[in-house]
Chains A and B, each alone.
Chain A
Amino acid sequence: MDSAAPSIRLPAGDPMLPRLFRIERVKKELSDTFTMEITPADGGPFHFRPGQFNMLSAFGVGEVPISISGDPGAPDVLVHTTRVVGSVTAAICALKPGDTIGVRGPFGSHWPVEDARGADVVFVAGGIGLAPLRPAIYQIMADREHYGNVVIFYGSRTPEDLLYRHELQRWRGRFDMSTEIIVDRATGHWGGRVGVVTKLIRGGGFDRHHAVAFVCGPEVMMRFAVETLGECGVTGDRVYLSMERNMKCALGFCGHCQYGPSFVCRDGPVYRYDAIERLFNVWEV
């Protein structure tokens, strides 16, 4: 022992430093939500697993966690869908093609897409919760023959708030998946369903004993979705949720995203429900 100081290994790369990406395309999805495609300034692909997130930086404004919403099978372009909810997301939204954005990631756990092979897969999405699920949908549809029924249940506030509208229409037109959409309220021009997303779950379309569910949306919605899935026979060991907490560093150093004994940035955001069941119904954890 040369010194009492521990041999903390110095990381190869500094995990605090953002990698620079170029904005390629920006598409307005909804009045407050946009999707951007970005590519690394230093070239090379960006590999990630469905459900993971990145920390995105706007120069001098700050950094925010945003889930990855593109196709893991197309790693040359990184896709993020972001809702403007504060100064950083507003600054990111203001970026134009050719501008630069800082990216750290990918971070966090992922939807267990490979492990679900052989099973029916039920996606339950609420609001912009469809964005973190989309990479998993892409990956499963690219590997379609290895799965049973693929069902998407998507709940939204109004028909005007539906994310990825054209893609939803394409998915609805496919014979090898079922896409059910429901909105909280609508006016007469909407020909689809009105009600809560849990009603779609009750409608079935999957083998309750062998289905795996991936759920993402507001915490309230997930609470009721999990309950309904349980009533329909999809037990907590086959239900996965994406949790949201305040994430500042994504490395487990800042402490903000703690959820009980776990760090959402490292142990989440995707959790198997039975692992967090004990805390899920406790207030203000």
Chain B
Amino acid sequence: MHVEGLDRLLKEHPFFAGFDAATLELLAGCAANERFAAGDFIARAQSRADKFFVIRHGSVALEIRVPGRDPLIVETLHEGEILGWSWIVPPYTWSYDARAVTLTRAVSLDATCLRDKLEADHSLGYELFKRVMPVVASRLASARLRLVDMYAPPAGTAGRQR
């Protein structure tokens, strides 16, 4: 199936920059155009990760539900970023809730379709992994840096001359 224009939407997204037309057309075969209103859930934790999203517009919050508290936003994602790598990682379930903070437009790629194509073409698979891995690394770095809690009020200052 070929949906007119989806390969163009993919081509415009920084994640797919540099892919040739044939590959984009191949990937577009797994793609769908999506729109989420502010507050809509794009994915729910523990549900099947059957989609991979590239965000074209808007912002998305990754949230963890904590009983008795408001959901904690661990990261927000924005135009030009990707949403989700659970589709690559067995058992293919979402770890967090993904909720549209504002009106969000995205292209989704069907996970089964995409996995099949990457399995069939390991060069394409490697190329895609080379693009996903830096995103994973940078989000891990961000999480680690925030673990430092660097803006926290200094501890143990009582009685100090400051």
| Direct A/B contact, Cβ within 8 angstroms | yes
Chain A contact residues, CB within 8 Å of chain B: 32, 62, 64, 83, 85-89, 126-128, 155-157, 161, 184-196, 198-199, 217-218, 220-221, 224
Partner of A62, one of B72, B73, B149, B161: B161
Q: How far is the CB of A130 from chain B (nearest CB, A)?
A: 11
Complex contacts, A64 vs chain B, CB 8 Å: 161-162
Contacts of A199 in B (CB 8 A): 138, 142
A86 and B151 contact, CB distance less than 8 A = no
Contact with A along B45-86 (1 / 0, CB 8 A): 000000000000001010100000111111110100000000
Q: Is B89 an interface residue (CB 8 A)?
A: no
Residues 15 to 46 of chain B near chain A (Cβ within 8 Å)? none
Q: Which single member of A155, A187, A198, A218 contacts B71 (CB below 8 Å)? A: A187
Which 3 residue pairs are nearest across A and B when measured between Cβ atoms?
A86-B162, A127-B151, A187-B70
Knowing A86-B157, A193-B78, the reply to whether A184 touches B151 (Cβ < 8 A) is yes
Complex interface: chain B residues within 8 A of A194 (CB): 61, 73-76
Known: A157-B152, A188-B70, A188-B71. A196 touches B146 (CB 8 A): yes
A276 to B132, CA, bound (A): 35
> Which residues between 121 and 142 of chain B lie within 8 Å of chain A, taking CB atoms?
138, 141-142
Assign chain B's interface to a size class. 20 to 34
- Min Cβ gap A230→B in Å is 15
In addition to A83-B153, A191-B101, A193-B59, 17 A-B residue pairs with Cβ atoms within 8 Å of each other are A62-B161, A64-B162, A85-B153, A85-B154, A85-B157, A85-B162, A86-B158, A88-B161, A88-B162, A89-B162, A127-B150, A161-B151, A187-B70, A187-B73, A196-B146, A220-B148, A221-B150
Residue from A85, A185, A196, A198 within 8 A of B73 (CB atoms): A185
A220 touches B70 (CB 8 A): no
Closest beta carbon of chain A to B162's beta carbon, Å: 3
Residues 91-127 of chain B, each 1 if its beta carbon lies under 8 Å from chain A, else 0:
0000000000110000000000000000000000000
Is B159 a contact partner of A86 (Cβ separation < 8 A)?
yes
Residues B75 and A195 in contact, CB atoms below 8 Å apart: yes
Complex Cα spacing A185 to B142, Å: 11
Nearest chain A residue, comparing its CB with the CB of B71: A188
Alpha-carbon gap, A198 to B139, bound state (A): 11
Partner of A156, one of B75, B151, B153: B151
Contacting residues, chain B, for A128 (C-beta < 8 A): 151
Chain A's nearest CB lies how many Å from the CB of B28? 27
Q: In the complex, A185→B152 CA distance in Å? A: 12
A89 to chain B: which residues have CB within 8 Å? 162
User: 24 A–B contact pairs at CB < 8 A?
Assistant: A64-B162, A86-B157, A87-B160, A87-B162, A88-B162, A127-B151, A184-B146, A184-B149, A185-B72, A185-B74, A185-B146, A186-B72, A188-B61, A191-B101, A193-B76, A193-B78, A194-B61, A194-B75, A196-B145, A196-B146, A198-B142, A217-B151, A220-B145, A221-B150
